[in-house]
Amino acid sequence: MHILCIFHLSPIQDQYENKDGSRATIDQLKEFGITVYIAEHGSIDMYLLQQVVQHAMSCKSDKRCLLYRDTNGRLYNLTLNNGCSGLAGTWKSLLVSFSGIQTLVALTVLTRTFGCSNISDAILKPGYISLILGLILYEEISHVWLNVAMFVRGVPSVGAYTLLSVFDSDWPRKAVVFLLAITSAMDEGSSTQRYCTLVGIGLAMLLLAANLGSRAWYFMKWKPLSCCGGTFLAPIVSLFVAALVGLIFPYIGFNKIQAGGKAAVQLVIINTIIVAGLFVVSDLDVIQHFLIKGSDSCNQDNVNITLGIWFAMTSITSIFAAKSIAVVSNDDQLEEEGEDDDDQLLVEDHTSPCGYKIPNFPDHPVDPVYFGSKGCDCLSLKFEVLFGLVISVGVGFFVVSTSMYDYMGAIGS
């Protein structure tokens, strides 16, 4: 039985215990306009948690919390104990260390490889590129699914992302680095290696552009993208939309663009000059040789023309977008922070499926792994154990038998 009670309430800074079923607390909270989701004892499962996340994503107000009510009527903050707090810390640190200019330089310089796509004498270096992407550009290419979910789709918290996502790891980055790494082991200069390298570079550029675009989406304060509902297509469509935004407004994804006004416009102008200058320098054979062996036989005219037009168009779009970013003075920022300190009714918390919790309520942590599949209902536990033992012996015998023929032949000889 799924019980999801939704009230428009506000948290209290009072006792959390209510032996009468917490009705007194609920009556006290109704005046403040905060959406509170209440999960009753015995009703928590994956379906209920995902319901809360989906409703929070569609809710216009960010004043919300998820509470758990036990059999005695006591209220707790319902939080997730699945490691999402560690993921949230990593994600926040990557947001700080993310370099927009490194992302844009890599995005543009990597296009040089496509100018050599049809040149048989030019040999790409996928192993070297995989090292650059995996080590030097780690922050810029990491957690693209999480960035798109939080900034573009409007997922309320990292904990909510772990409930919706089928990825437990940063698979897009790992897939790109792995593809380029195994491509380096192919026959050097072969057409297969060339095309696999170009595919890997294209995917890497997609991730770089999506990370830039998701940040630009957030800095421009656009509304979350409501597309495809909760289907598996939603993160895929959002990824390509974020990449498109990153290609149209690349400089808006820079950290300091939040200053707005003249400072933001100056940031766009300065970084346009820097990135364009580095791109022109990358046309030198001595520079291209790090990515492409035999680059002197490549024709980069089409790449230069295309990127020249792109530099002009994106600098114009980014200047107008930066101009529209509101300037927040220090006094206004201090005043807002002072108001938040005086009235800490809710605090942001990424372990909460809805993104916020009541600071003076205790937590009731749950691990979603216990809400997964309970196994096949038509089979008993003893039968599954017996079946598992048979499979284990069979797998071991099969692996051993693959070597028995050669082993017995060696003994006979």
Instruction: Provide the sign of the torsion angle of the four alpha carbons 54, 55, 61, 64, taken in this order.
Output: negative
Q: Does 342 fall in a domain? A: no
Do residue 293 and residue 402 come from a single domain?
no
pLDDT at 39 over 60: yes
- Whole-number pLDDT of residue 30: 61
Q: What span, in angstroms and rounded, lies between the C-alpha atoms of 351 and 184?
A: 41
- Whole-number pLDDT of residue 360: 81
pLDDT in tens, 390-413: 999 999 888 888 777 666 666 666
Do residue 290 and residue 357 come from a single domain?
no
For residues 50-78, b (16+ Cβ closer than 10 Å) or e, as one string? bbbbbbbbeeeeebbbbbbbeeebbbbbb
State the DSSP string of 256-271: GGGG-HHHHHHHHHHH
Q: Does 344 fall in a domain? A: no
By DSSP bridging, strand 75-80 and strand 363-366 are parallel
Task: Identify the helix (H) or strand (E) that includes residue 354.
Answer: none
- Least-confidence region, from 16-25, 37-46, 280-289, 308-317: 16-25
Instruction: Provide the sign of the torsion angle of the four alpha carbons 57, 61, 66, 72, taken in this order.
Output: negative
By DSSP bridging, strand 292-293 and strand 123-124 are antiparallel
pTM value? 0.86
Helices 261-281 and 100-109: angle between axes, nearest 10 degrees: 30
Q: Does 122 fall in a domain? A: yes
Do residue 303 and residue 383 come from a single domain?
no
Q: What span, in angstroms and rounded, lies between the C-alpha atoms of 262 and 181?
A: 44
Q: Which long-range contacts (CB under 8 A, 24 or more apart) does 233-240 make?
A: 234/153, 235/145, 235/148, 235/149, 235/153, 235/165, 238/148, 238/149, 238/152, 238/153, 239/144, 239/145, 239/148, 239/206, 239/210, 240/210
- Whole-number pLDDT of residue 212: 96
Do residue 157 and residue 245 come from a single domain?
yes
- Whole-number pLDDT of residue 10: 37
Do residue 104 and residue 20 come from a single domain?
no
Q: Does 391 fall in a domain? A: yes
pLDDT at 107 over 90: yes
Q: What span, in angstroms and rounded, lies between the C-alpha atoms of 320 and 268?
A: 10
Q: Please give the distance of CA 60 from its chain centroid, rounded to a whole number.
A: 22
Do residue 367 and residue 309 come from a single domain?
no
CB 106 within 8 A of CB 140: yes
- Whole-number pLDDT of residue 119: 77
Query: How many domains, the chain?
Result: 3
Q: Does 345 fall in a domain? A: no
- Whole-number pLDDT of residue 313: 96
Do residue 383 and residue 364 come from a single domain?
no
Q: Helix, strand, coil proportions of the chain in percent (round to 5)?
A: 60, 10, 30
- Least-confidence region, from 17-21, 54-58, 384-388: 17-21
- Least-confidence region, from 14-18, 101-105, 119-123, 305-309: 14-18
Q: Does 74 fall in a domain? A: yes
Please report which confidence band the pLDDT of residue 370 belongs to, taking 50, 70 and 90 as the band edges: confident
Mean pLDDT, the chain, integer: 84
Do residue 94 and residue 73 come from a single domain?
no
- Whole-number pLDDT of residue 31: 66
Do residue 56 and residue 99 come from a single domain?
no
- Least-confidence region, from 153-162, 277-286, 328-337: 328-337
Q: What percentage of the chain carries pLDDT values higher than 70?
A: 85
Q: Does 58 fall in a domain? A: yes
Residue that wins the pLDDT comparison between 184 and 1:
184
pLDDT at 309 over 50: yes
pLDDT at 261 over 80: yes
Q: Which residues contact 64 (CB under 8 A, 6 or more apart)?
A: 34, 35, 36, 37, 56, 156, 346, 354, 355, 356
Do residue 167 and residue 103 come from a single domain?
yes
Average pLDDT over residues 146-151: 94
pLDDT in tens, 66-85: 888 888 888 899 999 888 88
Tell me which residue of 1, 87, 49, 45 sits closest to 370, measured CA to CA. Answer: 45
Q: Does 339 fall in a domain? A: no
Residue that wins the pLDDT comparison between 127 and 228:
127
pLDDT at 168 over 90: no
The β-bridge partners of 66 are 37
Q: Which domain holds residue 26?
A: 4-81+351-371
Do residue 19 and residue 64 come from a single domain?
yes
Do residue 47 and residue 154 come from a single domain?
no
Q: What percentage of the chain carries pLDDT values higher than 90?
A: 42
pLDDT at 331 over 70: no
